[in-house]
Structure 1
């Protein structure tokens, strides 16, 4: 029975799953942790691509140690979106990669937004390219290839410079509706930039085979088929089984994301909803926030509580937190586009600073930021009938309840927590079998936990009032709605 590997190369580590195609189950897994390069420069978030190679080798090695590696026939890669990997003419890394959470290019993003008549957030690759040209002319002079993190892993494995539309649609220089590069936007950054972007590939085609050198370095069988891969959100949609309209996914990690499949492109001029393609040939409108699990973790650490203690105390608090709102922009924010925003707590009364109330307020805050995305998507005609939760925060029973009550939607929970790695494996299995990815996932849906959380209508009014305060306070504190 054939095996495939799904590899997710994220901001904090790499995770590998081994998926048995015939039995449709995960049979082994491995992981490796790493961190950002420490920096005192405000807004900077960087990693060297060699970190991803080392982390991938560790994660893959741990996973393959539990199986017969000769049975592995294909691999798919999920990667953190938007990161800029600049390469020279020989494919060598010019400098550290700037990551999705790097907002050092806020000024360049504002300049491009003004030129293009849209809101381009500094997380997108385009602003990082403009920053590189302005601030590091030596690096810019050497630039010949622009890749995203998962593309770099694909290049490392196969030697090819290619990009698929899902991840490409997070660069800021991609025409999502046409599924093609936007040469006019590229020329706004530099007249020769178009030459540095790679060939686009379709969602269902292999991009090559793993070379002997890469196989040896990563502990993979040589000649392995390499699927096109995609960004982590696109792969998470596959891993959560959300390939049909109406099924939305919320991912609760360091960043928070909300997305759902769409049969038509959605262009939101405010920049609040990213106009992404998905990994199946459809579209994946998406909201991303920079402050999700880190907000509640900040409160938990401040009070010296473990997870269970903080949750138990917060479960005693009422929905809406007695009028207290935690404004969650501890690291600035991407959506809304307020990179220089900060956190705040409002509505305090005597006794309000008790740890349970603060912890629940932090969970509500991260939830409301995601709910903003649903409201925007509904304004574009999308309709959610179910919400699937993934990511580390999805295991918190209180947070599950808060999200169900705020969104007033039933919640389901994919059984595999590492949805992006599973999505990469499912894509690899589809490509191996020559089946369209969307059809493969529809025919082989990833399992969900038996539990479904239904919204409590008794909490709807309090949560709606708290959400309205959240929205109004953010606009009052940090500027006009964007």
Structure 2
């Protein structure tokens, strides 16, 4: 048996799989985000440990014999979070999360240093880890002076599980400190934020062994000795391992809290000016690119809160058959945007409202706005030299057939729906745990699920969608200065 632990923004998910990669059981525990000021997003790292205990306890209750047979554990986590600990492993402040934009001025300052883009292959985004440390130094100097280690969220979880200070390449590539081509920390970039390599965790590949489970936890959970913990991955790379998106030309679109268009690459293809992320993959000697939007299902959930209707109720009002855009356009920049704008200050908008713009029209516009933001990511990936001719859909938003039809039409490519099953980050993490524990060939393990159905573009609406996308593209420069 193998266990995948996925530390998400809103929950911890624990998944058990067997040697044939069949899902045996799943446990969940919720998390909350604190937003003490506009643009801030934080969590207490101790909450991650309590949630992990709760999720694993659920598995121990439902599947005690299977849990006891676990030989490998893989980790996945939300990326970029700045978890600061002192010399005694005490947490110094709440973790600053991926969707926190307070460090936009520090990010711009670091990005003005050309060495950051040259070595990391990426813009220094406000959500990345390095500008967060610069913010802490500028605003909380007493805390900064005590920092002994900077850990990403899943790697703080690893420290608790194993006692090891380690991180994998895919997660570390989102810090703005990794020389992404060389897969190594850059002393030069660390020095630019007044840090050293000694304050970073050691680096391993996602498939490597990266510690063993502490005896205390093994006994508490009913596991044996020498349970291997894998290097693991950032959540998007872990999802790619779960989806089998590991070879060049494979791609998926994720409709989660944020939205991701992810493409696997056989070589390193940076183009930072496109605002595409060029990161190491979780498998050795592989890389990936992705366009990232900050509000995907988050935009629909916001609309749900405003209308007091559930997301399911809102999308069901649209039906399954795709409609032509109405002329109402939604910009989903509720907390700024990454690809392609790299703009932490921009905010969302409805444009083109009229007396006839009822709830259904607004729901349609919200889905289309997210769809067009994903189309922006596709155009950015194309400019970076990546070719995609079809995508597989994952994430909670992929349950909406209407949304998938919208994406297929806007991207002008088929969208595959995987066969029933959970192939997300927790499953990918469990696969990495299997590989680390057994030494199995990563490519033979990280295979793609069967396709249950393919959603094709609605050709009769291609022109209408293209015109609507043109309106969408024109709006960002029009409102940017307001």
Deviates more, 1:58-67 or 1:5-14: 58-67
Other structure's SS at 1:314 match: coil
Deviates more, 1:429-438 or 1:160-169: 429-438
Question: Unaligned 5+ residue runs, structure 1?
Answer: none
Question: Unaligned 5+ residue runs, structure 2?
Answer: 118-122
Other structure's SS at 2:62 match: coil
Distance in 1, matches of 2:322 and 2:238, equals: 36
Deviates more, 1:379-388 or 1:162-171: 379-388
Distance in 1, matches of 2:196 and 2:242, equals: 34
Q: Which residue of 2 aligns with 1:421?
A: 426
Q: Which residue of 2 aligns with 1:212?
A: 215
Question: Measured at CA, do residues 271 and 146 of structure 1 come closer, stay the same or move farther in structure 2, by a change above 3 Å?
Answer: farther
Q: Which residue of 2 aligns with 1:332?
A: 336
After the TM superposition, which residues 280-359 of structure 1 pair with which residues of structure 2 at under 5 Å, given as runs?
280-281=283-284, 282-315=286-319, 319-335=323-339, 336-351=341-356, 353-359=357-363
Which of 362, 366, 369 in structure 2 is aligned with 1:362?
Answer: 366
Distance in 2, matches of 1:195 and 1:144, equals: 8
Q: Which residue of 1 aligns with 2:275?
A: 272
Deviation at 1:207, TM superposition (A): 1.0
Give yes or no for the alignment of 1:59 onto 2:64: no
Deviation at 1:222, TM superposition (A): 4.2
CA contact (8 A) 1:79 1:150 kept: yes
- After superposition, the CA RMSD in angstroms is 1.9
Other structure's SS at 1:323 match: coil
Q: Which residue of 1 aligns with 2:28?
A: 31
Which of 104, 126, 136 in structure 2 is aligned with 1:106?
Answer: 104
Question: Measured at CA, do residues 163 and 362 of structure 1 come closer, stay the same or move farther in structure 2, by a change above 3 Å?
Answer: same
Distance in 2, matches of 1:63 and 1:446, equals: 26
**Deviation string for 1:319-366 (max 9, x for gaps)?**
452221101112222332121111111122331x21111101100111
**Deviation string for 1:233-257 (max 9, x for gaps)?**
0100011111122221111111111
Deviates more, 1:229-238 or 1:329-338: 329-338
Other structure's SS at 1:291 match: coil
Other structure's SS at 1:29 match: strand
**Deviation string for 1:362-395 (max 9, x for gaps)?**
0011111111111111112211122111111111
Give yes or no for the alignment of 1:226 onto 2:229: yes
Q: Which residue of 1 aligns with 2:151?
A: 147
CA contact (8 A) 2:245 2:448 kept: no
**Deviation string for 1:149-205 (max 9, x for gaps)?**
111111111111111110110001111111111222111111x43321122112332
**Deviation string for 1:239-295 (max 9, x for gaps)?**
111112222111111111111100111222226111111101211111211111122
**Deviation string for 1:23-56 (max 9, x for gaps)?**
32101111011101241x1211111111111111
Other structure's SS at 1:428 match: helix
CA contact (8 A) 1:6 1:421 kept: yes
Give yes or no for the alignment of 1:17 onto 2:15: yes
Which of 432, 437, 455 in structure 1 is aligned with 2:442?
Answer: 437
Distance in 1, matches of 2:305 and 2:100, equals: 24
Q: Which residue of 2 aligns with 1:476?
A: 478
Which of 170, 193, 196 in structure 1 is aligned with 2:196?
Answer: 193
Which of 380, 385, 393 in structure 2 is aligned with 1:381?
Answer: 385
Deviation at 1:98, TM superposition (A): 0.7
Other structure's SS at 1:72 match: coil
Q: TM-score when scaled to structure 1? A: 0.93
Distance in 1, matches of 2:385 and 2:10, equals: 35
